[in-house]
Amino acid sequence: MNRVNRVNRVNRVNRRSVAVIGGGIIGLSCADELLRAGHEVVVCDPAPATGATHAAAGMLAPAGEAWFGEEALLRLGLDSLARWPEYAANLEQRSGTDVDLRSTGTLLVGMDRDDLIDVRRSCALLEESGVRVEPLDREALWRREPGLSSRVAGGVWLPHDRHVDPRRVAVALLAVLGDRVVRQRATPVEGGVLLEDGRVLAADVVVLATGATGLASVRAVRGEVIRVRTPDAPTHMVRARVHGQPVYVVPRSDGEVVIGATEEEHPGHSAPTVGGMARLLDAARQLLPGLDTAEFIDAVARDRPGTPDNGPLLGVLEGTGAQRPIVAGGHYRGGVLLAPVTAAVVRALVEESPPPDVAAPFHPDRFERTTPCL
């Protein structure tokens, strides 16, 4: 169905007014999808795209992140990954912003023999799930990524992983949404949302996309990343274990390189720590010695929205009175990857049509305490 027909269908059948609370990559993607489908949309956020979205490395790497017991999450990630090329092309065309989507895959690398055992263990799971994995010996690794240390033990190539620049994606989404973004905090109330200036914006549907805050079953998991610039950037995304320390290195097209990420659960102010930076830089320099001469750009710490089973919360929140908001939260380490499928799920829920099957295991009611606490 072309866009005009689709919009006409929505107009005839079910044009809804939707207020999205939270303007990170999730809230903005949902709003954009709804707008494209012909709905009326407003996004409320006092500081859009400055939460976890601002720190994210932009790996679209369900294979590189997969772990035992998280097979449903892997399937959701693979579904969303498949949506990314069309999603990015469409957004670029409408916004005029290049989002730097790159499709060079992930190199999973083990620095020593124990590290390589860990890498191979996660590959066994991937192969069971039908993900293509290409084992590489040391020579094959260096041919693919000549900047890797001569000390690496080995690794594999996951050809289907991609990466994107989340800050550019946010710029593009903000451009297409324009003045539909209201720079204020909001809370859901009967019939819409209450803004911090006291106004109520009426809405048929409220979507909660507030990242690491605002839902009782979501907890903040601090992550730190470092940005550097170098003429010797790797051509692939490299994820590695370096003597037990996990690290990844994600190159952008303009020579910027993101080195990440720490993972810590502690309350308090989100600021990068000396210990976190030292561990990441030490591991990254051992892995790719050329990074030694890279120029430092910045270090950023933000809170990932974690859930008890690491999966997102996608669905209508029952049992909260007549409001029944739609939740699009708890995306933890994968909110950038999962943005397109989340937007598709939220649109289906707004239109009261069946969401994609892969989202079924992620209903928010699987946790008792998924109540809003804005």
Ligand X SMILES: Cc1cc2nc3c(=O)[nH]c(=O)nc-3n(C[C@H](O)[C@H](O)[C@H](O)COP(=O)(O)OP(=O)(O)OC[C@H]3O[C@@H](n4cnc5c(N)ncnc54)[C@H](O)[C@@H]3O)c2cc1C
Closest CA to 50 of 201, 260, 212: 212
Q: Considering CB under 6 A, how many residues would be counted as binding ligand X?
A: 45
- With contacts defined by CB under 6 A, name the span among 45-53, 68-76, 95-103, 171-179 that binds ligand X: 45-53
* Cα(372)–Cα(369) distance, integer angstroms: 9
When asked if residue 214 is in the footprint of ligand X (CB under 6 A), the reply is yes
The 224-263 contact track toward ligand X, x by CB under 6 A, reads: -x----------------------------------xx--
Tokens of 297: 């750009």
Q: Which stretch binds ligand X (CB under 6 A): 5-13, 33-41, 57-65, 153-161?
A: 57-65
**C-beta of 11: minimal distance to ligand X in Å?**
28
The residue written with tokens 């380490």 in the block is 333
**Among 227, 232, 228, 226, CA closest to 147:** 232
Tokens of 174: 């903000």
x/- mask, ligand X, residues 59-98, rule CB under 6 A, reads x---------------------------------------
With CB atoms as reference, the residue minimizing the distance to ligand X is 24
- By DSSP bridging, strand 256-260 and strand 245-251 are antiparallel
Shortest CB 28 distance to ligand X, Å: 7
Q: What are phi and psi of 108, to 5 degrees?
A: -100, 120
d(CA 218, CA 306): 5
By CB under 6 A, the residues from 285 to 314 that bind ligand X are: 302, 304-305
Binding to ligand X by residue 326, rule CB under 6 A? no
For residue 91, what are the contacts with CB-CB under 8 A and spacing of at least 6? 32, 97, 99, 169, 172, 173, 176
The residues of the shown chain that bind ligand X, judged by CB under 6 A, are 21-27, 44-48, 50-53, 55-59, 185-186, 209-214, 223, 225, 260-261, 302, 304-305, 329, 331-337, 374
